[in-house]
Every structure is written in C-alpha cells, then in structure tokens.
Structure 1
Amino acid sequence: MITQGVFIADRYEIIDKVGSGGMSDVYRAKDHILGREVAIKILKQEFSEDATFVAKFRTEAQSAAGLEHPNIVNIYDVGSENGMYFIVMEYVEGITLKTYIEKKGQLNFKEAISIAIQVGRGIEAAHQKGIIHRDIKPQNIIISTEGKVKVTDFGIARAASSNTIHADLMGSVHYSSPEQARNGFVDGKSDIYSLGIVMYEMVTGRVPFDGDNTVAIAIQHLQEEMVAPSAYAPDLPISLEKIILKATMKKADRRYPTISDMLMDLKKALVSPNEDFVTIVESDLGQTKVMQKVTPEEDQSLSRRAAEALTFEDEYDDEDEYYDDEYYDDDYDDDYDDEYEDESKMDRILTISGIVAAIAIVAIIVAIVGNMAGLFSFGSKKVTMINVVGTQYEEALGKLEDIGLTEKNVVISYEANDAEDGIITNQSVAEGKEFSLNDTLRLTVSGTEEAGSSDSGSSQKTENKDSSAEADGDKVAVPSVVGLTQAEATQTLSNSNITVTSTSQEFSDDVASGSVISQSINAGEMVEKNSTITLVISKGPKEVKYTYSIPNPYDGECTYEIAEIGKSGTIPKNGSINISEVSIAELTVTLTYTPMYITGDGTEAPNPNATETSTQKVKGTPSN
C-alpha cells in the first residue's frame, strides 16, 4: 500500500496522493537525489499482473519520455519495483483547465486563444515526433500558477507508424473525434478535433454533445451537427468561431491539415479577431484550394504580433492570475526556430516555390474546367460593409438591407452603457470590409433586450422569452422557435431554461436555410425546467440538377456554344453532346455549321459564305 513516507526505488518519498485515473494513481513525491518535487504515476495493483495493461503503461512512458517542450509535462524516469510499475514526471502546481472552466464559466476569446495556442504547441511537438495524444480534454491540460499551460497524461498515446492503423482505445467520449468513436484510423487530425471541442467548451462553458451514456454521445459525434458556439457566446469573434467549426468538421479531410496550420489561424485571430479569414470546405466535391505558404519570417512576425495582442484586463483576484504576459512574450518568439537555421534557405525557398507553383497550376486548371462544366460554385455573393454604428437598430437594418443583407444575416446582443437605448454601439465587420451573404454580422445594441425589443426587429426573441413564464412551480412553457435561425432558437430556448441537445438537417422549400423547420416538443407544452429538446434545421430547397442531350441537326460537323455555363465545343456529324449536373433548367444553345465544297483542284474546303447559325432554348431533364 502506498502511504505518506514510503520510498520508491530508494529515491522518491511519497508526500501525498494528488489524483487517480482509470489505470493509475498519481502521487506527489520528493526526489531525494535531485532535491525536487515530482509526480509519480503508479499502475493500479489490479492491472499490474495484466500483460496488456503493463505493455500500454510502458508504451506511455516510452512515447512521452522523448518529448521535451515547455507545454508538455516532462517525463523524468520510468521503472518497476516488486511488481509495481511507475513513471516519474514533472510536478506542476496549478489547476486543470476543466476546473478553471467550471470556476469561470465562459472564457473570453483572448484567454481561450492563448490557452489553445499553448496546448497546440505541445501537440505540435508531439506530432513532429510521430506521437498522437488521442485523449486531449480539459482534464489533461494544466494551468500552472505561473500562467504556463501544459498537456499531460499521454495515457493512451501511441507513436504513429506504418503498422498503426486503428485506435484500440477511446479517450473521454465528450472530446473524441468521429473516427475514434467508430474505432477507425486515428492521426493528428483527431487531436485537432479534440482541441476544437475543448475550445468550444472554453468559450461556451459547455460541451457540444452530451447524453446519458457514452454510446449516445459517440453517436452524436458521428451523426449530429453541433450548435454554433456563437449561439451561447454572442460576442464571440467570427474568426475564432470559424476556427472551432473547421477544427471540428466530422470528415477529417475538411479539418486543418496539421496542428501548425491551426496555430497560424489562432495567431491571426489574436491580431485580427473580427476578420473573416478562415476557409471552411463545405462541398463534397473536394475542390482544390491554393493555400498561402507562410515563410518562417512571416510566422515569427505574426507570433510577436499575437503576443502583443495578449493584454488581459485586471479582472481576476490574485489567486486567479494564471497568465503572465512576460511568459507569452518569450513563448511566442518561436523558441524552436533555431533548430531549422542550419538548413539551406535557398533549397527551402526553391522547394516551397515549386510546390506552390504546381498546386496553383493544378488549381487553376481544375477551376477553369469545373467552371465551364458548371460543377463548381465559387462562393456566395459578397458586399462591401457599411458603417451602422451610432444609428438606431431599425435604421441600421434598413441600410443593411439596401446592400443585400437580411435579418437572417444579423445577430444582435445588448449591452448596458451610456448610449441611448437601441443605438448600435459596435459591429463585428468593419466598414469597407468584404462581407459574404452566407455569413453573420453581429451588432451590439445599447440597452437591455427588454428595452430593445420594443423598437427593434428582434422583438421575436423577447416575445418568446415572455412566453416562457413559469407555471406549476418548476415547469415552463415551451416557446415556438419554428422559423427562427438556429442561433436565435437556441438562445430563445435557453432563456426558457430548455437546452438544445442536438439538431438534424432536412431540405425545405418553405423554410429558409439555417432556420428551424420543427421542434421535438410542441410550442405551449409545459415541461420541467432544464428539459432537453431537439431541432430540425432547414438546408433550404433541394437543388435540382439537370441533364441535357443536344444532337447535331446538320449534315456535317458543327460547333456549339452555351452562354449560361460558358461551355463550347464541336459536335460530330450524326452525333450529340451530353451535359449533366447542371443547376439551370433551360439553356441557350447556339449551333454553327459551315458546309464543305469542292475547290478547283478537287479538294474539300469550308464555304464561309454558306455558314448557318441557329439559336434555340433547350429544356433539361431533372436528374435527381
């Protein structure tokens, strides 16, 4: 039995027990040779005689022992004594991120990004050595009293190698990637997904998927769309929300390619939080995108600018000051860039230039061909944002409608300040910036929601909130959220003490894309407080694809042009062309035929004076 005062390996004196996990117990101890405090992880007795568990325990030590990084808990020693297996590691005085979130609730975006960057750096160091953590969660992230963030517990980590293709263990299911949930291939993108879920919890104070058992939660990771974090954190900058959404895409190939790419966007979000720079691939077509390669010099400059952006307000008690600006300044100077300075800069530049040029050429060819075939849609319409700060909400909405925005593009939050009630005091996209009509503009309105609802277009929210008046003690009336956007519906239900646990999506000809089609509990029904509800979200009308078959009516080869899709070519004699997957129901086809004639020397040549041209409207046949 391990008790206070017991010596392990005639060196480590147990001081007290500090934690316990599924496989092991953790103790604080004194290293009498080096005179320092350490943490000792000891495999539980019931597992010590199990060869499989012992092998996994040793694998943990061997994997983690080679990692040395300021954001990883260092491993000092590993051994066994009288059938007891143990690992000696760095002792970090502080609290877990889980405890910190529970204490603080929602973290502000600067805190969340700074913690995510430090965690990401630790993961990056592991990935560079071929090690996947596999169990990233707030319980495995420690915030020291000095403000340093460290990743710990590589309890199910395993070095990624050619003969490692499946995960045989699952970490905490709330943070597990879809591929872990289905026991599929696990790589660095699985850690990216888990970090995205951790970031979601930091900014919202809750996990996106929850349920009564691990199976139910795992199914949600596989099948259900999570509620956008801005539904719970309306002031969340668009850049951070998109980083979280990209990191938690269900298909691994839609996430960040590497943790380094994600770190780059996190640094940008610190410098320009309201800039919409994150690209999320939504299409199943797998279209090629040209990604800008950032040079080491640019990376270092961005790191310094990110460090300068980390200026926290003095809003914590002394015991809560876990963040040290001096640490961030040193940490973001890229301590590990020096190891690359011995490489030939010219070789690196030439290699990178060649790769970027090749990708660009392929992307241009694919884009041109895809555009001619009508396969690709290159983004939604963009408008130039105007300034509405200082105007009343209704007036601001009118101005925004004039440039193409609608109420579904706008989410408002209220803030008590010295301005007149109903005045716009802040907008998430600055004047002059490009704004996609598929995105959301967040407006901050002076006053309270109750005051603003009388003179703003968002009165629907307050009405729904009013409808949640309590009755029968702890019961509340379920408000109607059909027709509201997902974010509005989630907030309205939250105001009524009802939690949205999951959503599904369906096509609808009647309900706008992104709005609620139906709710699992009827409006007006009385339910207990903190009841759960599910929503069906509209995907908009199902896009109809058309197929065309255009025959050649002439007695010889002819050419064709189709203006709507920018397609042209040649149709052989007695032949036809077939075009599919076109989203337009009717095409304008122009056919041009130039007959041949026999010249004086007996050869054939086209007769331009006899050229025939016909233009016709051709209706397509629906193909789905």
Structure 2
Amino acid sequence: MAEQKTLLGGRYLLKDKVGAGGMASVYRATDQVLDRTVAVKIMLPQYASDATFAARFKQEAQAAAALSSPYIVGVYDWGKDGDTYYIVMEYLRGTDLKSGIRSHGALDPKKVAQIGSQICGALSVAHKHEIIHRDIKPQNIMVLPDGNIKVMDFGIARAKNSHLTQDNNVLGTAHYVSPEQTRGQELGPTSDIYSLGVVMYECATGKVPFDGDDAISVALKQVNELPVPPSQINPNVDGDLERIILRCMEKDPANRFQTADELRRVLNNYMAGHTVDVPEPTRIIGAAAAGNTTTRVMSDQTQAMARPVGGAAAVNAAGRTTTGQFDTGMYETKKNDGMSKGRIAAIALVVVAVVAAAIFAVSGLLAPAELTTVPNLLSLTREDAINTISEYGFKVGSVDDGYSDQYPAGQVCEQHPGSEDPQPAGSEIDIVISKGPEPVDTTEVPDLSQANGRDEAEKMILAAKLKVGDVTEKAASGDEEEGTITDQSPTAGQTVDVDTTVNFTVIVAPDTTSVPDLTGMSRSEASDALDKAGFGMTVDEEYSDNVPEGTVISWDPSGKQEPGTTITVVISQGPDPSTEKVDVDALGLVGMYAEDAQDAISHAGLYYNPVSESSDSVPVGQVIRYSPKGEVDPGTTVWIYISTGPSSSGSGSGSGSNSESGSGSDSDSSGGGTSDGSGGSSSEAE
C-alpha cells in the first residue's frame, strides 16, 4: 500500500525506491516544504497493523532524532499516513560498508582503524543518551564519497530502561551479535563494542569471524568459540590492530574496552603511529586444560535469536549441548578422552620452539629492527614528500586528499606516522595532501518583507538553508498590518554561509477594545463610559452653535484601541459669546446715497445687495428702505432699495431689478422690493 503513494503526509513526494529491509522500504523523496531531497523509510504493509512493530518503528525515529553527530544519519521527521508509518531521514550518497568489503576485500589497516574510530564517535553519542544500538553491522554503516561514514538504522536501538521487546528477545544479526545478546541478557555499551570488533575483523580480513549454515549455529559460535586471529587470514594486519580487534571481541564484557571513547582514543593513537598498550588475549581454556569435560547446555534465552519449535536444547557444531556458561576470554578445546602421541609430539615441538625463541631473544639474535627517524613532511608538496620518504628509506603508503585550514592546497597537511615516532626502515608512511580550506556553502538571505506572516517567513529562512533566530513581536500601531515583517538581520539579498541565523521582527495584533460611542453624553457620562471600557480621558472645550453646552461634540481616537489608551473628548461650551450682533438700524441707511450706504454696510461687517425701485418721494440715488432691520449676525446680507425717481407712467411701480451686484452672499436677505402697482409703495413702511 505504501509503495502506491506518491505524496506522503501531504509533504514528501516519493521518487524512486533505493533500498529495502526486513520490515521497511526506503525511497528517495522530495520535501516539498523545504525543497530538499530526503530518504523516507516506509514500514512494509504486513507489519503496519502489528502494534509491536509499529512501536519499534516509532521508537527508531525518536531514538535517532535525539542523537546529533556527524557520524549518525540525521532523522528529520516521522508520522503516519493512512495505515502505514514512515520516517524521514537525511539522504546520503554512497554505499554501505558490506558492499564495499565485498567489492574490495580486506581494507588497509589504517582505514579499518579510521572506520572503527568514526563508528565509536557515533556510539559515544548514543551511549551518553543511554541508547544501545544493538545492531552494529556493515550493512548499517554508510560510506560516503569522501570516505567518512555514518551509522544508520536505530530500528532496534533501545534505551537501557525501556522494555519494548518481550523477554528481551534478540533482534540483531547473528554474525555480529555479542554473546550476551545471543543469550538474551541485559545489554550495555560493551555489547555494541563487541559488534564493532566483529565489523573491524571483517574489514581487516574480508571475512566474518564466525559463519555457519544457520543463525543458531553462528550464534553458538559467538558464545563458545574464539575467532581465528586476523593476521592468520590477512598477514597485513599488524599486531597492534589485531590486539585491538580481539579485545573488542572478548567473551566477557568486563574484558573489553568499557566505553566507545576509550576505544576511539586507542584507535586514534594507532592511526597516529603511537604506542598501543593493549594486552594479548588469553588463548587457552583453563578448565579444559585441567581435564574438565563438563557438558554445556545452552539456556532457553539463547534461542531467542530464532526460536525453534519445541524449544529443544541447541546443539553446537561439535555435537554437544551447551549452557550459557563459558570460560571468559579462553579458546575452547574439543573434549578428549586422552592425548594421541602425535598431539604430544606437536606440543613438545611448540615448547621447544618457545624456549628457543626465548634463548635467541636473550642472546640478541632476535633484537628488534633498527628504528629510523621519520622525516617531517608537513608543508611539503606531494612530489617533495614522496621523494623525501624514499630518501629516508621508507615506502610511500596511501596518498589521500583532505581539507585543511592550516596548510595551502597542494601541501602535506597530515602524515602517519608522525615525525616524532621513529619507525623501522622500509615501513610505510601515509600522507594527506591539502585541498585548502573546506569550502563553505553560501546562500542568499530571502526578503522576509514579502512573507505573509511569521510562519511563511520561517519557511523562507529554512528553504534558504538558514536557521531561524530570534523573532521579536511588535504590537501594531497606526497603519501597520498584522503579520508584516518590519526588520530582519542579516538584510535581504545578502550572501551568507549556510546555517547562518536570521533574526526578524513581526507585527502582531495588539490586545484591542472598542471605544464606546459618546454621542450626546455629558462630560461625566463620557468619563464613566471610557473608564468602564478601560480607557483614560482628557478634555478639550469648544464653542458650538449646534451642540448644547456641556455635551460631547467629538472624541479621538475612535474604533478599536489598546486598553489604557487616552481618549481626547471635546465638550461644547455653547455659542461663542464674543461674537457681537450688528445693529443695522444704527447705520442710518435711509436717505443715504447708494454709494455711501454700501460703504457703511461693508464697514459694519455686512454684505449688501442693491435693488432699484421708483419713488415719488425719495430723490434719485438715495436709499428708500433696507432689509433686514434690527440686530443681525456679522456677514448678513442687507438689501437696500435705491430710488430711481417717479415712474414714467406715474404709477409709481418699481422696476424690481437689481441695479448693482452686492459684495456678499444672499444669506439672511429679506424684502422683495416689489411694488403693489399703485404708486410704488413698498411692502414695508419706512
């Protein structure tokens, strides 16, 4: 079912299948959110409905996600889609160590030590989190193009205090499990160290130390047999590396290296050509040598590797039943009822040889080889270093390339062994040629002002292979819109190193409350309403001809505001008492000539509008009458009626037309100036 999906979790677009294991398939996929290639491990359908397997699958994600090391495959995410589970991991380009051994056979001893040291780096991190890997094997070691490794598959890793697997059943691979794991006993860090010893044994010899027709027979050998020394399979394995490997594979956990850090220090010293102080393994079974022929019966827990139906006692390769007890660190000998003459003779020859070797050593005939000073090759060019190695009587070993901040490209930046450690003439010296400083990937800082809110800004940062730093929230004010990114550091468009931290400020909505409607309220009513809403109040006063005195004219700000905001309220003082009326009657307009009347009106702050009208009693050009009368507001228009003399018809009717345009508006004007047709009398008496 999982294989038919193209988009997992709404985010991971599956591309192609790149691997498969006992309980899951692995796909290359694209993370559409971060736009990067990832590896997605999907549980096989037949296990998805099994609660135990589902719990183990979830445990793998949680265990690995908690670990951070350059030698551990990173886990990004995990989840469930429909009825299947998946884990999203770092996508690696390379090959697993098992395939490399099959292709190339035994590896160079220094390379074996390098691989072992890096695996120790991964185990050290896991063990400090009290997580035991439980399945260290070459298939779970990925070799990258640069030669470094990453440990994969924490599928059966388990914290020391967890109890996931029933009866402590062994879930590892028989060729690499420790004796205590075979018997289903409680495991500690030394169990992973045993498995690592088996991995280094295979790297050094091209073969596993124990093999058989089935998992049970292989597991029994892990408990009851000692490995053939690696140097007997591959003569290039020197004594130091051999002792390191065999100490890792001691049957008794107490006789092994006790921590991954301890083993790593020894391997690093070996690679540097320093003295390695590791004791020889015990190679004789004390009980057997004394004639002890006790039959051994393996405990039921041993069969947890692959329990046969019926639970019959397991039988080892020699046809004997065995127990979980064993002689720690001893080579097992076959049961004998007596010694043959040939065997006695062989033992005698060995004794003679040992005695002879001791005699020769004492007499100086087997003195150690003469040591020669190793030249200091650092900073030399490749050609000069090779020539110098030959001049000093050494052989050129491996010549690798590597990055260095100290030595320019083309110069030797590492050598093994170093110049402080004299070596036998003719031995090999490995060198590493600098490629210069390791290039740092750079990226362009995105413009976060284009983001629609904080979440989108963080996605833009991650998509640019940068890290989200401090995010400052600023309450919106004025025209600022919620979700706007106002500041960022580094600035948009700047080229920076990958994983640089980006800080930014985002506008957030303030905690707001609506300002109440104060229309028609008195000053005290407005104060009470604002106080109840959580606002302060200041008061301004203004005159108003329209709003009664003591009543709210306006307030600012209005709408939604942060609690505690001070609202300015304008209260009416009523009409402005400083505004004086103009007494039109006091101007004495009647009888004035039109020009004088206009001047008087203008000087009084009023406007005029002259109207021509015939009159039998008022001389031509003088004011007959005006309107309005009495006190008026400044700016009022006064209509003045100007005499044109008697009408030509003698009827006294006025023309009713304006003789001039006034200097103001016609507001507040009155009077029609219209004659009644009987001699020009007006509608108002003078």
Sort the TM-score into its range (normalised by shorter chain). Answer: 0.3 to 0.5
Per chain length, whose mean CA-contact separation is higher, i.e. which structure has more relative contact order (CA < 8 Å, sep 6+)? 1
- TM-score, structure 2 normalization: 0.42
Would you tell me which structure has more helix in proportion to its own residues?
1
- TM-score, structure 1 normalization: 0.46
| Bigger Rg over Cα | 2
